[in-house]
Amino acid sequence: MPVHRIAASGRNSRKCMKEMNRKALQGPNNITRALIDASVDRGLREIEEDPKRSIRKLTDMGRMFSKGRFMDEVLSIVQDLLRNDDSPYYETIEKILRNTDRKNLKDFGISFGYSGLTYGGKVIRENDHSLSYQVPWALCLRINPTLKGSLSVSEVSSCVRQGKAMGIYCYFIRLSGSVSCLGRLMEVVRQNPECAFIALFPDERLNTAQIAGIKECSNSLVMFCSKGTNSQSNIEAVKRDKILYGVYAEYGNEDAAAWYNDQKAEELARMNTGINLLVSDDTCSRRNGARVAKYCRSLRTHPEYPMILFDLVGDSLQISHIISEDECYLELLENGDIKTAAETISDFRHTTALDQLFSVGLPKKPVNS
C-alpha cells in the first residue's frame, strides 16, 4: 500500500481511535473480575476434594460469567465432553491443576477468558462498524534480540497499550535467537495484568533468575519447543515452581500431512503436557495450515489423548469469526513485515501504529452496493 494511502487511512480512523482510547480508560470491569476471581478460587479448592464433580461445576460457572460468543460455545462443548466420566479431559485438567499454582491458573484464565474473549470481544464488535479495517482478537508479535533492527520490547509495550484500546487483551509473543530480553519483556507482562500473554521460547535453557521472573507473571502461559534439546529441563524447572506451561510444535508443508493424518499427536502426548500448540512456519501453504487446524478441532471434540491441541493460525481465525464474524489474523515479524492468514507483506517498513498495520494487513473488503 502506498505511503499516502496509509497516511489517509490513519487520518480517517483518528476520530474513532480517540473514542476507543476514551473507552479503554474504563477497561474490564474490576467488580466483575473480582467476583469471577472469588468464584474460580473457590472452585479450584473444591476440585481437590471431588475432582470430577467440581470440574463440571467450574465449567458450569464459566458459562454463567463468560457471555462472549466464543467462550459460550467452547464451554458448551466442554460440558458435553465432561459428561463422559472416562473422558481424557479429566486427566488433562487434573494434570494442569496438579502442576500449576492456583493464582497463575486464575489470573491467566480470567485475563484470557473474561478480558480477552468476553470484554475484549465486546469492544471489537462495538467498534467494528466505524473502522475501515478488521481488528484481530489476539496479536502475535515476534522478537529476536540477535537480529539487528528486530522488533523491540518497547515496541511490544506500545502495541499492547494501543491494542487494549481496540479490545485486544491476548498476545502471543514469539521469542527466537535468544532470551536475553526476557527480563524486560516480563516487565511488560507485569505492567498489563488484565491481559493474557502466551510466550513461545526458543531452545535455550532458562536460568534461576529467569524462572523467578516468569513466576511473577501470573497472567502468562509459557511454551517450549517440542523438539528443543533444553525443553525437558525447562519444563521440569517451571513445574517445580508450578508455572503454567505447554509445548509448541512447528510444522511446514513437508510434515503437515503427518499431523492431519494423525501420525504425530501421540508423540506430542508423550511429553505429558496438558496444553499444546501447533505453529505453521512461514513457508506453509494456507491449504495445509487449514487441514492441520481442522484436525486439531476434530481431536478436541473427539479426544484420544490427555492433552488439548490448538493450531495458532487456524484457531485464531475461528475465534475471530465467532467474535466478530470477521476471519482475521495478524503477526508482526521481527523485521517489521506483516504476516496475515493470506499473505506476508514484505515490502512494508515496520511501524507499531496498530491502525496503520491493520489498514495495510487487514483492510475490509468493500461492500457491494
Tell me the pairing of strands 275-280 and 245-251: parallel
In this structure, are residues 94 and 314 in contact, taking their beta carbons and an 8 Å threshold? no
Interval 153-163 mean pLDDT: 96
Confidence category of residue 361, pLDDT binned at 50, 70, 90: very high
Whole-number pLDDT of residue 9:
46
Ordered by where they begin, the domains of the chain are: 3-361 (3.20.20)
User: Cell 515496541 appears where?
Assistant: 155
In this structure, are residues 63 and 75 in contact, taking their beta carbons and an 8 Å threshold? yes
Whole-number pLDDT of residue 3:
39
In this structure, are residues 108 and 246 in contact, taking their beta carbons and an 8 Å threshold? no
pLDDT tens for each residue of 98-116: 899 989 999 998 899 889 9
Indicate the average pLDDT of the chain.
85
Interval 55-63 mean pLDDT: 61
pLDDT tens for each residue of 264-290: 999 999 998 999 999 999 999 999 999
Whole-number pLDDT of residue 125:
92
pTM of the model: 0.86
Say what percent of the chain tops pLDDT 70: 78
Whole-number pLDDT of residue 339:
95
Confidence category of residue 92, pLDDT binned at 50, 70, 90: confident
pLDDT tens for each residue of 293-326: 999 999 988 888 999 899 999 999 999 998 888 8
pLDDT tens for each residue of 236-264: 999 999 999 999 999 999 999 999 999 99
**Cα radius of gyration (the chain):** 20
Q: Which residue has the higher pLDDT, 88 or 49?
A: 88
Confidence category of residue 30, pLDDT binned at 50, 70, 90: confident
Whole-number pLDDT of residue 32:
73
Of residues 181, 94, 264, 338, the one with CA closest to residue 247: 264
Of residues 216, 120, 126, 224, the one with CA closest to residue 171: 120
Query: DSSP of 132-176, one letter per residue?
Result: SB---SEEEEEE-TTSTTPPPHHHHHHHHHHHHHHT--EEEEEE-
CA atoms within 13 Å, Cβ hemisphere of 281: 9
CA–CA separation, 317 and 4 (whole Å): 30
**C-beta contacts of 337-346 below 8 A and 24+ residues apart:** 339/282, 341/286, 341/289, 341/313, 341/317, 342/286, 344/282
Q: Is the pLDDT of residue 41 over 90?
A: no
Confidence category of residue 186, pLDDT binned at 50, 70, 90: very high
Confidence category of residue 74, pLDDT binned at 50, 70, 90: low
How many other C-beta atoms are found inside a 10 Å radius of the C-beta of residue 153?
Answer: 18
Whole-number pLDDT of residue 161:
97
Whole-number pLDDT of residue 5:
41
Q: Which residue has the higher pLDDT, 366 or 188?
A: 188
Interval 116-126 mean pLDDT: 92
